[in-house]
A and B are shown apart, each in its own frame.
Chain A
């Protein structure tokens, strides 16, 4: 640096410290979601939600320009999230000092890889989709969880979605409440699907339901006719499937009906997307299929949530999928923290995110608790009618069995 330019810098620094100039600079937000392959449909809506939130503040906060980059944590070979790529993304984020927020991941398995790295760097991470309880809650997962994700000792990971340990029981209570006696539990052997099926099973037994079977499916199978026939012959009157559209939830629903199973089918929020109805065929889901979801569905949202839906429609020309609002909420909570912290400093922004209290969000008014989880425990149960998700009732925050249809 020559003497001249260094003087110039000094002058500028003086000027800004005198408050004559507004703060300036670029703050970068990145998201790390699987964008190659089958999860793309859901992550696309999350990315839209993030873009929308940034768009709403005009891409600027307190003179800082907010730049967003949409990173892919999948690889073409996998067609799904790839641990190597997720590790690369985490590393890339840590070493780029303009990055002040990491929105991700989609898969809880990917979070396990990124979390410790981002934690050491003190970079805030907000997940719009991870629901595996062990990531944040002590005693829910392995003995060493969640401390292994927090090598620095403090928390940097937050999520705007309620966890599996809350959603599974909601589904079990719904099954028991419907009068079913015998339930067959399926799961996709993934972290999310297996996790939620486990808690479902635990709660179902507590509620006195007979568990006719508990099986992991092969998500790449062409059909599940034999398995579904087994379910039919077991005389179960309800089936819970812990899994997603990607893990072949549509085919499971379809084959259950095609072998003549007429009982209730309950699926978790991983199936709450148009693609699930598309894959399963609307007529197969008609009437006796129920979906649990953390938060209220888009059309039931009031206030800010309703505004979000409207804005989404104008901006993207399509109805928001259930996941879009999580992306939007994750980005907004981060932007809100940036505004409060009003700095480029990662630590200060992290602190501001952690201090989020009574946030006026699209999903309602909520805060982050000491583990980094949302305090929002509202669940909703929807059914499928005429090829659309139809809101049935609120659940979760009300005592079991006491929730009434609204």
Chain B
């Protein structure tokens, strides 16, 4: 902990304290539970794209693998039923293996070719989840899923503070792990590959193995995010919950936050997901309370403006802050 830079420490201090002033329930918790889930996915993508410079457009697929692996291992319609904690652990391992398996044949590809392979992997994953009904229940989703338990006490969805702190705890663990990796031999290799693949290869850094470790780390974190997402819903939802748009959201989090910056990713998740599940929801609520809305006029329905507002916000953010809200040099980290 002592080595965490100030912005990250401040983030966790504020986040941990927020529920004390936000009451015990409300939209705030819904939004922040989603924010923390996507922080995990964002942290994973930050390792792949931010540190190592590999564009991955298929993070949602790893989330899906995490969610479905967790569901199959824990749901009572399957024989495994290993419980929440073992389920989470197994999911992280499965995510890493999945990342390895995709990475092994494809990480030799350069730049945007890798991007489209990961995008294709995302599409394939969705189709497989949809079509292999015997295992995945198709579009039905697998439910219900076990709640986290601490001894005899289990966490219900209504205990929003509990979930909030639990998820925040996972984010903290992920940040510590990523920071540790970043400072390890692998982490330095990631950055050097990103900066100059040729030179780093000359210095004896094996490019493929380095990329594989980054890929597996990122996938494991995304799978963790997916498993927690499913646990929170107590259902995997349908496969389309992990579609390309989710990968895009993860990418926006990392880039808007600041590529290669852990604190930036955390802030990016707050901004992007917060806009989605807090600001836009509130706007629509206010408009609907003010009596705006009509089925026959498309412009009059506030919900129909959400894409536009989201898109404008994205363009404005990168226009005003092309390096992200909190680029690595402002983070106070090593790089």
Contacts and interface: CB of A to CB of B under 8 A. Distances in A.
A223 interface: no
B210 interface: no
Nearest to A141: B140
A84 B67 CA distance: 14
Contacts of A109: 139-141, 237-238
A191 B139 contact: yes
A83 B130 contact: no
Interface string A5-38: 0000000000000000000000000000001100
Nearest to B284: A72
A88 B280 CA distance: 14
Contacts of B31: 88
Interface stretch (B11-19, B100-108, B293-301): B293-301
B201 interface: no
Given A83-B233, A190-B139, A91 B293 contact: no
Given A112-B235, A191-B140, A316 B76 contact: no
B77 A36 contact: no
Nearest to A324: B295
Nearest to A132: B140
B28 to A, nearest CB: 11
B285 to A, nearest CB: 8
B25 interface: yes
Interface string B138-157: 11110110000000000011
A117 B276 contact: no
Given A69-B288, A91-B160, A148 B143 contact: yes
Nearest to B29: A91
Interface stretch (B48-56, B167-175, B263-271, B302-310): B302-310
A191 B240 CA distance: 12
A77 B248 contact: yes
Interface string A179-193: 000000000011100
A88 B30 contact: yes
A368 B137 CA distance: 29
Contacts of A356: none
Interface in B195-223: none
Given A84-B277, A191-B139, A318 B296 contact: yes
Interface residues of A, number: 47
Interface in A62-82: 69-70, 72, 74-80, 82
A118 to B, nearest CB: 11
B247 to A, nearest CB: 10
B74 interface: no
Contacts of A78: 240-241, 243, 245
A76 B281 CA distance: 11
A45 B139 contact: no
A148 B295 contact: no
Interface string A118-147: 001100000000000000000001111000
A48 interface: yes
B262 interface: no
Given A70-B293, A88-B30, A142-B137, A76 B288 contact: no
B139 A113 contact: no
Given A92-B27, A194-B139, A318-B296, A76 B240 contact: no
Contact of B288 (A70, A92, A94, A216): A70
B91 interface: no
Interface in B75-103: 76-77
A116 interface: yes
Given A194-B139, A216-B131, A83 B241 contact: yes
A85 B237 CA distance: 11
B139 A76 contact: no
B273 to A, nearest CB: 10
B301 to A, nearest CB: 7
Contacts of A260: none
A120 to B, nearest CB: 8
Contacts of B245: 77-79
Contacts of B304: 36, 40
A324 B234 CA distance: 31
A306 interface: no
11 contacts: A45-B295, A47-B295, A75-B277, A76-B306, A82-B241, A142-B77, A148-B143, A148-B144, A189-B130, A191-B238, A316-B296
Q: Which 9 A-B pairs have the closest CB atoms?
A: A44-B295, A83-B237, A76-B306, A88-B30, A77-B245, A35-B303, A95-B25, A36-B303, A76-B307
Given A120-B156, A148-B143, A316-B295, 13 more contacts: A36-B304, A40-B303, A47-B295, A77-B245, A77-B310, A79-B307, A83-B235, A84-B34, A95-B25, A109-B141, A112-B140, A116-B234, A190-B139
Interface of A: 35-36, 40, 44-45, 47-48, 69-70, 72, 74-80, 82-85, 87-88, 91-92, 94-95, 109, 112-113, 116-117, 120-121, 141-144, 148, 189-191, 194, 216, 316-318
